[in-house]
Structure 1
């Protein structure tokens, strides 16, 4: 089991590394091709749409198919699609629509891969080890998200962004090879015998999500929590420039501001298993949500970049505690044969809707007010609503008392 988990963990780190490289390089590539902010933003739109469009279908299929075979096939597909970019670039035929199409295709593959992954990890390690396993996974991938964007930014300055897509393709192939080597089961395949069965599976996943009071509550509150996260990510650069006096280019302090969130997430991944064992999921959610709100307020009122860095580390830790706790609790109570569809559906609501909504809200408010701080404040208000709902709604309080 340890060998299988090690291979799985390395495969996920490789996949996340490739995804982070693409997330930095693709917008730069499109901007170099067009000089257009509209085309550059189209990359972000193309990457955001697939989870909303295909999430339910992906979850239902991942609960019926062999998850290992599904993930391996998707990795190889991503590698092939990504290689089309450097090949077209070498031929002098690369266009912005081509890059946007690749962004949409690779993120669509990610949705199906992610759906399989939700069910694969509990099946591989067992529910009793799930919190520790997910915390380890979250910690490793957060380190990647902490380090790789800066390195990619440096590489883009000296290497053509199109060529970097070959790196992403190689990480996808490496992930596929590692996943193929896993001996343990990651699924109990059930053949698909008709579209009606898929529709039924989707309904069952939605029904389970709605009929489990704690899971439903954590998911809906998670959406409001994600609004605040999306707001911060949307206004981070203008906030640093106009509030903290940190220039958007050529100022190493901006890299520090970007890095702090990941530092907090790593801290959360380390302490969460002990917190969950001691408090339980419901009680931990009730405690972590107001702490996350407090982190947002600290960032909002900070006026010096060093103070902001400290506040962001704290907020990142509290925020990540809420996120990891919600995911692991959901996976622990969900039946094995429904892991993928339930978790994918919950992710659609909590992240797929909340994150872009928060970014759009913060952008609109910041433009209307002429102040990025106002955009962040709008996200913090949404988080305040989520905290109030968590404490006013009796579901979590009753579960917390029962756990005590």
Structure 2
């Protein structure tokens, strides 16, 4: 992959965008928490990021399978960049409010849903089916290397700079991503489909849903992924209140950046380990083994009382959590036919990431308001544990045994 110029441009575009997204990932919850002081309002920052998948995932996936994916990705980047730029502008004009910030988060993420839908089909087309696992690990590894550095810098910056102006860097990163995607020479979709007989968009959506629900491995992979995303949404939505109220790390404390860096360290470990794990036992067994460990990691974080212990638990949880994510995407992309890639993978992400994270963030926000962040995180860990049990009782276990016999 390192010798493929087009793939390098693609990876650079993803890294550029993720630099900015990592800033917003930290700055937006801190911004909302500082403006409102509410655990529930802080959870809304995660809801604003993930709800667009629930609303638009089906439509975006079907659209990305029938139009030029490069054009979709570039347009999405430009729209997101312009929207995010409105937050620092409003801040400097003295008119920034929590509803404005959340609305920008929602609409810019809605635009990103279309980018992500096109990206799901673009990566297998660009890398080739035989190199999907290597390509995913390379992208996750490069992105995580950035995330190792950025959260610490953002945490330090928040000690001296308000979170609102920092979002300007995310706006710039989207524009850089658009330029890099535009520079890719190879096509990112099968242009011959443009001349095919037109179909209703609803028929395309039904095809994607039919494949996802009709394939037992893809179906259970998505359903158990929802339980993991539930705990992930709960954690991200309550990280700032949890750090403040349980660990004694208030917003603006540099240690908050270390919490995010710890997760990135775990993600980097997952990126390095995953190719070996998938070759060792196959994707099905990776899910079966990593999902229970993810539930344990979530519970360990909920029980932590000291910030340095919590940092260690967050890093360990990050390893297995991100392993499940990479594995789920790889498994879906390996099984799904090329002409269904965008709609099936976007629908899978809509359910696993969108529905799972939104329900986790909202549930944790309500529980945290009533009983505190630790109780909310413990409840979320229990949901992921239930998903692990379901995975072991599903056809995924038989699929894993069959795949192991072929290795």
Same-fold call, TM > 0.5? Answer: yes
Matches within 5 A, 1:171-320: 171-189=173-191, 190-191=193-194, 197-244=200-247, 246-249=248-251, 251-320=253-322
1:153: Cα distance to partner? 4.2
How far apart are the structure 2 equivalents of 1:247 and 1:25? 15
| Structure 1 position 396 matched with structure 2 position 373 | no
Name the CA distance, whole Å, in 2 between partners of 1:240 and 1:313: 15
CA–CA separation in structure 2 for the residues paired with 1:87 and 1:240: 29
Q: Is 2:27 the partner of 1:7?
A: no
Cα offset for 1:215?
A: 0.8
Question: Would the alpha carbon gap of residues 84 and 231 (structure 1) be closer, same or farther in structure 2, given more than 3 Å must change?
Answer: closer
2:372 and 2:31 mapped to 1: Cα distance?
29
Asked if the contact 1:192/1:198 (under 8 Å) is kept, the reply is no
Q: CA deviation at 1:359?
A: 2.2
Q: 1:242-296: per-residue Cα shift (whole Å, max 9, x none)?
A: 554x332465444433322221111011010011012111122111122222323
User: Which residue matches 1:354?
Assistant: 356
Q: Report SS of the residue matched to 1:382.
A: helix
SS at match of 2:67: coil
Q: Which residue of 1 aligns with 2:341?
A: 339
Cα distance in 1, alignment partners of residues 159 and 254 from structure 2? 15
**What aligned pairs does 1:20-169 form with structure 2 within 5 A after superposition?**
20-26=22-28, 37=38, 44-87=46-89, 98-159=100-161, 161-169=163-171
Mapped to 1, the partners of 2:43 and 2:289 lie a distance apart of 37
Query: How many residues get paired?
Result: 400
Contact 2:249 2:307 in 1 (8 A): no
C-alpha spacing 1:41/1:294, structure 2 compared with 1 (3 Å): closer
- Partner Cα separation in structure 1 for residue 317 and residue 306 of structure 2: 16
Deviation at 1:212, TM superposition (A): 1.1
Residue in structure 1 matched with residue 326 of structure 2 by the alignment: 324
Contact 1:64 1:192 in 2 (8 A): no
Please give the alpha-carbon distance, in whole angstroms, between the structure 1 residues aligned to 2:398 and 2:235. Answer: 32
- 1:386 matched to which residue of 2? 387
Check whether the contact 2:152–2:254 (CA below 8 A) recurs between aligned residues: no
Consecutive unaligned residues of structure 1, counting only runs of 5 or more, are none
Cα distance in 2, alignment partners of residues 151 and 99 from structure 1: 22
Q: Is 1:217–1:390's contact at 8 Å kept on the other side of the alignment?
A: yes
Q: C-alpha separation between the residues in 2 aligned to 1:139 and 1:30?
A: 30
CA distance in 1, matches of 2:74, 2:402: 42
- Could you tell me how far apart the structure 1 residues matched to 2:222 and 2:295 are? 17
> 1:26 deviation in Å?
4.5
Q: Decide whether aligned partners of structure 1 residues 135 and 238 sit closer, same or farther in structure 2, where only a CA change above 3 A counts.
A: same
Q: Deviation at 1:41?
A: 6.2
Q: Which runs of 5+ in 2 are unaligned?
A: none
CA separation in 1, counterparts of 2:79 and 2:120?
20
SS at match of 2:18: helix
Shift of 1:354: 0.9
**Contact (CA 8 Å) 1:75, 1:172: kept in 2 or not?**
yes
Change (3 A) 1:351 1:152: same
CA-to-partner distance for each residue in 1:285-333, whole Å, 9 max, x for gaps? 1111222223234334444443333322222111111111111010011
3-state DSSP of counterpart to 2:387: helix
Change (3 A) 1:397 1:24: closer
**Match of 2:200, SS?**
helix
- Relative to 1, partners in 2 of residues 1:256 and 1:175: Cα closer, same or farther, differing over 3 Å? closer
TM-score (norm 1): 0.88
